[in-house]
Each structure stands twice: as structure tokens, then as C-alpha cells.
Structure 1
Amino acid sequence: MNNKAAILIATLALAAATPALAARQPLKVTEHIDISAPPAKVWEAVRDFGNLAWHPAVGSTTLDKGTKDKRGAVRTITTKDGAKLVEELLSHQDSTRSLKYRIIDSPLPVSDYVSTLKVKAAKGGSRVEWSSTFKRKDEKPAEGADNVGAKKAVAGIYTSGLGALKQQLEAK
């Protein structure tokens, strides 16, 4: 085989693999909000892994396994529209005001989802950062469930939750 043929075959193989490789690439979403409240007060509002009452989409949260601030705790979130998400706590650090969790089961168009929620001191109060890495769920996604759709769904959850948290804490 001559060099031109080898290059052509390699190029075609790479082109054919590119969509599949792109589907497996991790996606990242990070949202944050500044809240006019001390970090300790903000952390107190979000630190309980078994209670997401501050998020406007959440109807209820039940702790199915473990303790609310210990690694391995499992919670089921039922949204106000009836969807269920099952999540596991990976770490909980009062000293750094952060918690990390993963989704075990969810109707969201994502897989391999790991998220971190952090509260930091900021000028005038606190900054809450909610971030995650994940992959889209399906190799051949339905319309709206592609990489852009998956990121948009996650970002929407974060911004609505963070906005509600700000409103609740600044009203007190």
C-alpha cells in the first residue's frame, strides 16, 4: 500500500469515528450566583443532602440510605411534575462547604453525571457554585437531547435552583 492510500484510509477511519468519539466526550456545566448572606448561613441552607426544599422544581426528597452528610448516602428526589432522580453522596465537607454527588438514575438526558455544590466567601456575602461533568445519555439522541440539549437541561436546573436559593436567603 502506498503512502497516499494509507493516509486516505486513516483519514476516512478518523472521519467515521469522529461522531462516536464526540458523543463520548465529557460535558461540563458550571453556574454560580452571589448571595448577600454569610457563607455559614448559605451552607446551612444547602448542606443537608436529604433536603432540597430550597429548589423550586423539587416536590420532595427522601433519604433512602445512609446519613445526610456521610459518603454513600442515597436520596430520591421527586420533582413537582413527578419525575424521580436517585443520587448518591460522594463527599461532604463542612470545612470547605462543599458536597459532591452522582446520579444513579434519572430521566435527564445524561449519564456518568457527577456534580459539586460549593459555597465560598465573596464580596458582600457568598458565592454558590454548582458544577458537573457528564456525558449525554444516548449515542443517537432524540431532538433536544444532544450535547447542547443535555447542557441546557442541566444549566436550567442549576440556574432555577440558585436563583430560588438567593431569593429565599436574601428575603430573611
Structure 2
Amino acid sequence: MATASATLELPIPADVVWNLIGGFGSLPDWLPYIPHSELSEGGRIRTLANPNGDAIVERLIAFDHVGRSYSYAILKAPFPVVDYHSTLHVLETEAGSKVVWSGVFTPAGSSDADAIALFEGIYTEGLRSLASKMETN
């Protein structure tokens, strides 16, 4: 299995950050790559659309509101990986908060390095977008 991750430190309280990103259907609120999210099965499945119109279907596998984290698995996506599991976590720090977005997966049809670079890019760009969104709020 391969792993990828990105972190972001913000001078903003963890609860404020979690209020924006903690909903399983909230990706469009802060992640420009995902302009649409639709929840089903009582909020446990999210169907996303990327800018190309490709469908991404993910299942919520763990949610911890108090601990400010959730984990999910990809069921369908245009990514060259299988067995993808990811966690988005907001930690409280003395200076504010730290957001960690990480994933584990098995590359399929690509090298480990290419799959890792793909997800590290998605996570890093996503957290940059989050930082911009938090600065404007």
C-alpha cells in the first residue's frame, strides 16, 4: 500500500475550521475541485462531481465530531488506485489548528510514485484552498 498526506497550520481555532470542513457533504464549500456533492444513504454515501464531470463516489466509514475527524473510502473514481481510504482531521494547537488530510491506497495502472504524487497534489491544493477560504471568512 502507498500513502500520501498533507498538513496545514492555521491561526484559527480548530472548532471554526471543523465547522467549515467537518460535514461529509461540505467539500464544495472549500474545495474548488469538487463543485458538487450529493449525500445519500442517510449521509453515509457522497457522490461528487469534479470539474470534468467525472463521478466520484465515497462511503463514510468513521465520523468523530468531538475528535474533529472523518474517514472515508472511495467506491468509484477516475483515479488509478484501489482500496483507497482517507482521513481528514482537524487538531487543536496552541497557535490555532492543524489540518491533516491523509490516505492509503494501492496503485492500479500507475506507479506508486505517480499515485502518491497525484494524491499529495490533491491534498496540498485542497488545503491551500481551505487556507484561502478561511482568510476570506
TM-score with structure 2 length normalisation? 0.95
SS at match of 2:71: strand
Match of 2:13 among 24, 35, 38: 38
CA contact (8 A) 1:90 1:102 kept: yes
CA displacement at 1:66 relative to structure 2: 1.4
CA contact (8 A) 1:111 1:135 kept: yes
Q: C-alpha separation between the residues in 2 aligned to 1:167 and 1:36?
A: 13
Q: C-alpha separation between the residues in 2 aligned to 1:128 and 1:134?
A: 20
Counterpart for residue 163 of structure 1? 128
- Which structure 2 segments of 5+ residues have no match? none
CA contact (8 A) 1:35 1:170 kept: no
2:34 is aligned with what amino acid?
V
Q: C-alpha separation between the residues in 2 aligned to 1:76 and 1:91?
A: 17
Counterpart for residue 126 of structure 1? 97
Backbone CA RMSD of aligned residues: 1.0
Counterpart for residue 153 of structure 1? 118
CA displacement at 1:56 relative to structure 2: 1.5
SS at match of 1:91: strand
% identical aligned pairs: 32
Q: C-alpha separation between the residues in 2 aligned to 1:170 and 1:123?
A: 19
CA contact (8 A) 2:54 2:78 kept: yes
CA contact (8 A) 1:27 1:147 kept: yes
Q: What is the aligned residue count?
A: 136
Counterpart for residue 27 of structure 2? 52
1:51 is aligned with what amino acid?
S
TM-score with structure 1 length normalisation? 0.76
CA contact (8 A) 2:20 2:26 kept: no
Q: C-alpha separation between the residues in 2 aligned to 1:123 and 1:169?
A: 18
Q: C-alpha separation between the residues in 2 aligned to 1:123 and 1:117?
A: 20
CA displacement at 1:64 relative to structure 2: 2.3
Q: C-alpha separation between the residues in 2 aligned to 1:93 and 1:149?
A: 31
CA contact (8 A) 1:99 1:118 kept: yes
CA distances 1:31-79 after superposition (whole Å, capped 9, x unpaired): 1001121100000111110121111111200112213xxxxx0011101
- Which structure 1 segments of 5+ residues have no match? 1-25, 68-72
Counterpart for residue 102 of structure 1? 73
